[in-house]
Structure 1
Amino acid sequence: MPEYERRIKMSRGDSPSLPPKITKNVVHDLDPNFSSSFPASDDEDYSNHSSNFSGYEPGRMSGEASPILMSPWNQPSPFQPSPWISRGFDSSNHDKNGLLENSKLEGLVGSIVREEGHIYSIAAMGDLLYTGSDSKNIRVWRNLKEFTAFKSNSGLVKDIILSGDKIFTGHQDGKVRVWKKNRQDPSNHKRIGTFPTFLDILKSSMRPKNYIQVKRKCTTLWNKHCDAISSLSIDEEEGILYSSSWDRTFKVWKTSNSKCLESVKAHDDAVNSVVTTKSGLVFTGSADGSVKVWKRDWNGKQMKHNHVETLLKQECAVTALAVSETGTFVYGGLSDGSVNFWEWEKQLSHGGLLKGHKLAVLCLSTAGKLLFSGSADKTICVWKREENIHNCLSVLTGHTGPVKCLAVEREDGQSSCDKKWVVYSGSLDKSVKVWKVSEKLPEMQQTTMMQSYVRY
C-alpha cells in the first residue's frame, strides 16, 4: 500500500471521514491527520455568515454532537475595497487591543478573513498576533487589523513559536526559519537564520556516516528533515528548540548558534506533535497511535534523549499534544475526536478520556485550569480542570472549516479569582476568530455541571 494511503488510513482510526465533496477550499498538502477536503459553500457570503458562541448546556452528554446555534453577524468591512473582512466587531466600542470593552462579554468578539490561504499556524504575544498559511505569508495583526507581513519561499507555514524578539517558523520544506523583530520598529521583521544552515548541510554531506535512514527508501542527513515539519516546541531556559516531522523523527536545535544537537528516530510513522516541559521531559505523538516520553540528559557536552515509556499505543492517530502550565497534566488529541490525559504525581498515570468532538482533534492549548481542543468538526471545546476532573464548560462555534490551530493569552487587568482569556483560533476556512473565555462559572451552572469524561 502506498505511503500516503497508509497514513490516511491510520490517522482516521474509527472516526467518520469528512465528506468527499471537493470544493474551492481544498487542502493542497497531504496532512496525515484528516481528510484532504472539507465542505464549504461556493456561494457563501462571508459578510453574512452566521457565527455564535454556545454556552454550557446541562443536558449535553460528552459524546453528543457539538451544537451549532446560528445568529447573524452583518458587520460591514472597514477595509473595503481591500479583501479583508472583520465581523462581530464594533470599532466604536473597543479597547486598545481591539476587543469589546464590556469585560463581562464572553464568546466571539472578532473575526478576520482573507481569501488568501488556509490558516495552519498561529501565535500571540502581547498585542501582536502572528498567523501562517499555505500562501507562504506570515502576517502580523494588531487590533484585528493587519500590522505587517513577511514572506518565506518555503511552502505553507506549519507552526510558529515566539521567544522574545525572535520568531521561529516550521515549514513544509522541512526547515525551521528564524526571524527577528526590530525593537524600535516592531513592524520590521528580518530573517536571521535557517535550521539547518547551508554550511552545516555542506559539512555533513562530506561524511557517509552522517546519512541515516528515516523511512523505507528514504535516506537523509541526520541534521536535516526530509519531510514536512509538523510542530515546534521551545525550552527558553535551556535555549533549545524541538522540531517534529512527518519523517518520523524529532530534532533538537541550539537556538543561539543554529546547531542540531541530536536527531531522534522516534516513531514508526509521522510525528504529529512534540512538547517539552521545564523538568526536561519531552512528549511526542504520532500517526502510529502512540505517545512517547523522552528524558533529556547531558553527557558532558553531548545531549541525549532517552526513551522513558510509551503512554499510549492504539490504532487511531495521535494528532496533537499539550502540557498544563504546571506540567502536571499531559493531553493527547486523537483522530477519533477524543482527548486522552495523564496526570503526574510520582509518575505519569492515565487520568481519563475526554469526549467532546465528532471528528479528529487537530490542536490543543492550555491556559490556567482550562484546556482548549480544536477539531475537524469546526468547533472548539473548552474544558475546565478541578483537581483531576475535567468538565466541558462551553463549545465555541462559528468556523466553517476544521479548526487547525489555537493560541491563548490572558486578558489584562483581570483578578486572580476570575481569570479571563483571549483565545485565537485559526481554521481551514481561511479565518481567524477571537474569543473571550472565563474560568468562572455562574452559580446555577456550577450546581448542574456534568462531567464530560470517561475514566479507566
Structure 2
Amino acid sequence: MKFAYRFSNLLGTVYRCGNLNFTCDGNSLISPVGNRVTVFDLKNNKSNTLPLATRYNVKCVGLSPDGRLAIIVDEGGDALLVSLVCRSVLHHFHFKGSVHSVSFSPDGRKFVVTKGNIAQMYHAPGRKREFNAFVLDKTYFGPYDETTCIDWTDDARCFAVGSKDMSTWVFGAERWDNLIYYALGGHKDAIVACFFESSSLDLYTLSQDGALCVWQCDTPPEGLRLKAPTGWRAEVLQGAEAEEEGDEGGEEETTVRGKAAPAAEEQQGKVKYSRLAKYFFNKEGDFNKLTAAAYHKTTHLLVTGFASGVFHLHELPEFNLIHSLSVSDQRIASIAINGSGDWVAFGCSGLGQLLVWEWQSESYVLKQQGHFNSMVALAYSPDGQYLATGSDDGKVKVWNTLSGFCFITFTEHSSGVTGVTFTATGYVIVTSSMDGTVRAFDLHRYRNFRTFTSPRPTQFSCVAVDCSGEVVSAGAQDSFEVFIWSMQTGRLLDVLSGHEGPISGLCFNPVKSVLASASWDRTVRLWDMADSWRTTETLGLTSDALAVTFRPDGAELAVATLNSQITFWDPENAVQTGSIEGRHDLKTGRKELDKITAKHSAKGKAFTTVCYSADGQSVLAGGMSKFVCIYHVKEQILMKKFEISCNLSLDAMEEFLNRRKMTEFGNLALIDQDAGVEDGVAVPLPGVKKGDMSSRHFKPEIRVTSLCFSPTGRCWAAATTEGLLIYSLDTQMLFDPFELDTGVTPVRIRAALRQQDYTRAILMAFRLNERKLLQEALESVPWDEVEVVSSSLPELYVEKVLEFLASSFEVSCHLEFYLIWTQKLLLAHGQKLKARAGKVLPAVQFLQKSIQRHLDDVSRLCDWNRYNIQYALAVSKQRGLKRPSEQPGSDDEADASDDDTLHLLGTQHGDGDGDGHLA
C-alpha cells in the first residue's frame, strides 16, 4: 500500500500531433500528447492527463456530441473507446490500417472513419445493446488517393470527405434516391478541409494551395428522398406494416406508396452542385501552404492556418477578412473552435505549442509551450508546490503542480541546462549550463539576479546549493574542478581540485556542512565547508560514478555507478553499508538498428539518476530504460518497478526485432520514409523529389534523465523523453486499515460520537482509515474542545492526523476549523515530534504546502482589495479638493471618474510572462 503510486499527470508537453477538440460546453480543450490525451480546463485553470495510453502516438481524436465518449486512434490503427466521465477505457478496436480522421454525426448515432482512400461508417457505441461496440454499417468508395477530412450536415443526412486527389465527395448517410454520391473538383492541390453550411447542403472546400471554393446545392436537406426498398426487403417491410396498421390502413398505404409516390419522384431530379465563387488567400510563396482550417457554422467564421505560423479569420460566404495574426514561426497543425465561437485553439507540432485565442478581444486565453528538446533536469520546491525543469534547449520552466501549467520561462541560458535546484526558501532557482554560467533566478520578481562564472570558460555539468542557501557549487565537465560561490556577493570563494575525471554529480549534506562530489574517476570526495574546503574522505568505487545523493537526514549516501550498481555509504565513517545490483531490473529495449539482443545490450546501461524518498527508507532509480525502480535501502530488494511508457513510436522499446523489417537489402529503419511528408511532398517517380532535402525523421530514444521525490512524500516526478511524468499515491480506491480488529465498525464510531466520546471515535476512525468517517469524526468535535481532544491523542496517531489535515486543506472549505486543529496539535505534541523529525518531516511539509497555497491566494486577494480601496479613496479625495465653481464640467468629470473607478475595480490581472495561463 505504501508504494501504490499511479500515473497522475503529464507536464512539460502540451501538444505533439493530431487534432484538437473542444468539449461540448466549450470550457475545456482536449489535446493529444504523444500516446496520451490531456484535458485543459480553461475555466478552472487546470490540466489533467487521462490515465490511459495507446501503443503509438495518437493520430486523431473523435468526440461525441454530448461530450461523454471519445474515440482515440493511434498511428497504428488501434482505437480506444474512452468514457470521459469515468476516465476509463470501455473498448479496444483495430481498424486494420492507418486512420486519418474520425468524426461523430451531430445526432450521435453514427461516426465515420477515413482510412486510406475509403470512408467507413459505424454505429455509434452506446445507442443500442450490441455485442460489439464498433459495428460497421457501410463502406464508401470514390476517392483515388488518401482521404484527409470529414464534415457532417446539421441533420446528419449527408457527410463530405476530402481527398489528396484534389476532389471532394458528398455521400448520403442513408439510401437516398436522389443522392448516392457526388464528386466535386475545381482544386489544384490536396484538400485540407471541407465544411457544410448550417441547415444546408451548400459546401466550402479548401485546398493546400490556399484556394477556397464555394459550392451551392439546388436541393435543400428536406428534399432528400429515401430509396424505396426492393426485393425481399420490400416484402418484409410491407408485411410488417400490414400487421401493425390493419387491412384497411395497409391497403391505403400501399396505394399511396405504390402509385402516387413514384409519380412525384419522377418530377424531381438528382442533386446537383454548382460553384458560386473561388477565393484565394494571400500567399507568400510555395512554402506558405494552408495546413489546417476550422469553420463555425453559427457565426460563419472561417479560421485558416498556414505553414508559416500565420492564421486568418474570414467571414463567409462574402470572404471578408476580420484579422490576421502570426502565432508562431512553425506550421499550424490543428485548429479548433469552441461551441460559442469565441475561442480558437491552435496546435503547432514543430515546437509543441498550444494556444487558445479569443478573437473578439484579441487576447490569449492559454499560451503554453513545452520543452522542444529533451528534458534533462528537474527539482521540487521545498513545499512541493512547484517543479522546475531544465532542458537541452536552454530554457528553464517552472510548473505549478496543482494546475499543471507553466507560469514562467527563463531563457537567459544560451546552451543546454544541465542542473536545476531550489534553495531552502523555495523562492530562488539555481541552474547550471553548458554555456559556462551558473544562474540564480528570483521567483518573486521573475528575473535572473545572479550570474556565477569561472575564471576561464568551462562547461558545468551539475549544481548544488547548501541548506542555508548561501553557498553555490557547480562541477566542471572539462577542467575536473568544483567551483564554490557566495550567493550574497556572487564572488568565487574557492576552486576544489583533486578529481581526475569530469564531475558527474554534487550534493550537499542536509544536516552538516559537507559537500559530496562524484566523478568519472571512480571516486566520491567529501569536502568540509567548515575546514577550508579540505577533503575529509575519498570513497573508492569499482566503476565511474554517475549520480550521488544524500539521505534526507544526512546519515547515508547513495552513489549510482556505470556498472549498474547503487552503493550505499556511511559518510561519517567512510564505510560502504550495502549495494544493489540493478542490471537485471533495467531491462533496456532493443533499438531498430541494434545488432545485439536487448538482453546483451543491457550490459552497457546503468542508472543515471538516483533520489531518496521523503522518509529515507527507499531509493528511486532510473536511467536509459523505460523502467523506474524503487528499492528498499535496508533490505536491498526491489519493491516496485514502474513502466513509464508503452509508446512504440519511441526507439528502444521492443525486446525483439520485427523480422518483417529485415529485407535482403538491409533494415527498413534505414529508409527515411517520412522526410517531407509534413509539407505534402509526393514522390511521383523514383529519384525525383522536390522540397526540403534536409528534413529528416528520427525516433527519439526512451530514457529517464532525472528523478525527484516530492518533499511531501505523496508523489514523485520523472523527466523522460515523453515529458514530465507525475506519479502520486492513489488514495481513492485504497483500503489501508491500521491496527484493525473486529470491534472497530462504522456503527460503533457513530455511537461514540453521539456519546461525545470524541477521542475514542477519532482513534477508531483512523484504525478503519476511511476518509468519510475520518472527516465526520473530526468535524463533529466542537471548536472549543479541539485543544482537549488533540492533547489526548496518542503520539502514534498525531502524524496520521497531520496527514489527514494536510489533504483536507486542498479540498475543504472549513479552513479556520482545520487551522485550529493544526495549531493545537503542534502546540500539544511539538516536543515529541522533534524527536521523530525524520519520520514526521514529509507530513509536516505536506501540511506546509497546503497552508502556503491558501496563504498565497488570500494574501493576493487582500493586496488587490487594499489597492482598490486606496485607489477609490484617492479618487474621492481628489474630487473633494476640486470646487464646483472652478470646474464647470465637474459633474461630468465626477461621473467619468466613477466610471473609471468601477472599470478598474472590475478588471482582473493576468500573468505578465509570455508563457503563462491568462485569466
User: Shorter-chain TM-score: what band?
Assistant: 0.5 to 0.7
1:140 paired residue number: 398
2:347 corresponding residue in structure 1: 81
1:404 shift after superposition: 0.8
Q: CA RMSD in A?
A: 3.4
AA at the equivalent of 1:235:
D
1:243 is matched with which residue: 474, 493, 499?
474
Task: Answer whether contact 2:371 2:395 (CA < 8 A) is retained.
Answer: no
Contact persistence 1:321–1:331 (CA under 8 A)? yes
The number of residue pairs the alignment matches comes to 307
State the match for 1:285 in structure 2.
518
Q: Deviations over 1:232-267 (max 9, x none)?
A: 111132711111111201111111111111001131
Instruction: Map 1:273-352 onto structure 2 (within 5 A).
Output: 273-277=505-509, 278-298=511-531, 304-314=532-542, 316-343=543-570, 347-352=573-578
Residue deviations 1:307-332 (CA, integer Å, cap 9, x gap): 22221233x32100010011111010
Task: Mark the CA change 1:334 to 1:85 in structure 2 (over 3 Å): closer, same or farther.
Answer: farther
> CA 1:379–1:224 in 2, change beyond 3 Å: closer, same or farther?
farther
Q: Which residue of structure 1 aligns with residue 717 of structure 2? A: 424
User: Which residue is equivalent to 2:440?
Assistant: 178
Q: What is the TM-score when the length of structure 1 is the normalising length?
A: 0.60
Name the aligned partner's letter for residue 397 of structure 2. R
2:545 and 2:463 mapped to 1: Cα distance? 16
The amino acid across from 1:433 in the alignment is L
Deviation at 1:372, TM superposition (A): 1.0
Counterpart Cα distance in 2 of 1:85 and 1:378: 26
| Structure 1 residues 402 and 296: alpha-carbon distance in aligned structure 2, compared to 1, 3 A threshold | same
Give the distance between the partners of 1:363 and 1:159, measured in 2 at CA: 12
Q: How far apart are residue 384 of structure 1 and its match?
A: 2.6
- Provide the rounded CA distance (Å) in 1 between the counterparts of 2:537 and 2:420: 28
Q: CA offset at residue 167 of structure 1?
A: 1.3
Matched, 1:193 2:450: yes
- Does 2:626 align with 1:378? yes
C-alpha contact (below 8 Å) 2:579/2:636 kept by paired residues: no
Please say if residues 225 and 245 of structure 1, whose CA atoms lie closer than 8 Å, have aligned partners that are also in contact.
no
Determine if the alignment matches structure 1 residue 409 to structure 2 residue 713. Answer: no
Tell me the distance in 2 between the aligned counterparts of 1:73 and 1:293.
55
Q: Which residue of 1 aligns with 2:323?
A: none
Is the 8 Å Cα contact of residues 441 and 449 (structure 2) preserved in structure 1?
yes
Equivalent of residue 725 in structure 2, options 410, 414, 433: 433
Distance 1:307 1:286 in 2: 14
Q: Does 1:121 align with 2:348?
A: no
The Cα of 1:193 is off from its aligned counterpart by 1.7
How far apart are 1:194 and its partner, in Å?
A: 0.4
* Residues 50 and 73, structure 1, Cα contact 8 Å, conserved in 2: no
Cα distance in 2 between the residues matched to 1:121 and 1:286 = 18
Identical amino acids, percent of aligned pairs: 15
CA contact 1:331–1:342 (8 Å) conserved in 2: yes
**1:115–1:148 distance in 2 versus 1, CA, 3 Å:** closer
User: Aligned-pair distance for 1:291?
Assistant: 1.5
User: Greater helix percent: which structure?
Assistant: 2
Supply the distance in 1 between the matched residues of 2:393 and 2:566 (Cα, whole angstroms): 30
User: Could you tell me how far apart the structure 2 residues matched to 1:361 and 1:72 are?
Assistant: 34
Give the structure, 1 or 2, with the largest relative contact order (CA under 8 Å, sep 6 or more). 1
**Paired AA for residue 347 in structure 1:** N
CA shift, 1:118, in A, is 0.3
In structure 1, the residue matched to 2:665 is: none
Residues in 2 aligned to 1:334 and 1:320: alpha-carbon distance in whole angstroms: 7
* Contact 2:469/2:487 (8 A) holds in 1: no
Question: Residue 225 and residue 297 in structure 1: after superposition, are their counterparts in 2 closer, same or farther (change >3 A)?
Answer: farther
Q: Structure 1 85/191 Cα, relative in aligned 2: closer, same or farther at 3 Å?
A: closer
Contact 2:35 2:55 in 1 (8 A): no
Mapped partners of 2:575, 2:81: distance in 1: 45
User: Are the structure 2 counterparts of residues 149 and 270 from structure 1 closer, same or farther at C-alpha, using a change threshold of 3 Å?
Assistant: same
Instruction: Please give the alpha-carbon distance, in whole angstroms, between the structure 1 residues aligned to 2:555 and 2:447.
Output: 37
DSSP-derived class of the 1:154 partner: coil
CA distance in 2, matches of 1:378, 1:266: 36
Superposition deviation, residue 377 in structure 1? 1.8
User: Whole-Å Cα distance in 1 between the matches of residues 498 and 707 of structure 2?
Assistant: 25
**Residue deviations 1:108-163 (CA, integer Å, cap 9, x gap):** xxxx9946010011112232221111111111222222222121242011111112
* AA of the residue aligned to 1:244: G
CA distance in 1, matches of 2:420, 2:719: 12
Instruction: Say if 2:578 and 2:636, in contact at 8 Å, map to a contact too.
Output: no
The Cα offsets for residues 388-443 of structure 1, whole Å up to 9 and x where unpaired, read as 333321112124522111222144xxxxxxxx43111112x1511001259x9989
- TM-score by structure 2 length? 0.31
1:269-316 Cα deviation digits (max 9, x unpaired)? 101011121322221111122222222234xxxxx21122221233x3
Instruction: State the match for 2:638 in structure 1.
Output: 392
Aligned ranges for residues 48-67 of structure 1 at < 5 Å? 49-50=54-55
Shift of 1:338: 1.4
CA distance, structure 1, for counterparts of residue 469 and residue 729 of structure 2: 32
The 3 A distance-change label for structure 1 pair 383 and 263 is: same
Residue ranges of structure 1 left out of the alignment (5+ in a row): 1-43, 52-70, 87-111, 183-187, 197-222, 299-303, 412-419, 444-456
Aligned to 2:420: 160
SS of residue matched to 2:378 = strand
Q: In structure 1, what is the equivalent of residue 464 of structure 2?
A: 233
Q: Provide the rounded CA distance (Å) in 1 between the counterparts of 2:395 and 2:459.
A: 17
The whole-number CA distance in structure 1 between the counterparts of 2:415 and 2:503 is 19
**1:255 paired residue among 477, 480, 487:** 487
Change (3 A) 1:262 1:382: same
Q: What SS is found at the alignment partner of 1:81?
A: strand
The structure-2 alpha-carbon separation of the partners of 1:287 and 1:169, relative to structure 1 and needing over 3 Å to count, comes to same
More strand as a share of residues: 1
* Structure 1 counterpart of 2:296: none
* C-alpha separation in 2, matches of 1:242 and 1:364: 19
**Amino acid of the residue matched to residue 476 of structure 2?**
S
The change in CA–CA distance for 1:72 and 1:130 in structure 2 (over 3 A counts) is: farther
Deviation at residue 379 of structure 1 after TM alignment: 2.1
**Does the alignment pair 1:364 with 2:610?**
yes
Q: How much has 1:73 moved relative to structure 2? A: 11
Q: Residue type matched to 1:324 in 2?
A: R
- The AA in structure 1 aligned to 2:640 is S
Whether the aligned pair in 2 keeps the contact of 1:116 and 1:430 (CA below 8 Å) is no
**Letter aligned with residue 539 of structure 2:** L
Contact 1:120 1:133 in 2 (8 A): yes
CA displacement at 1:80 relative to structure 2 = 5.8
Structure with larger Rg: 2
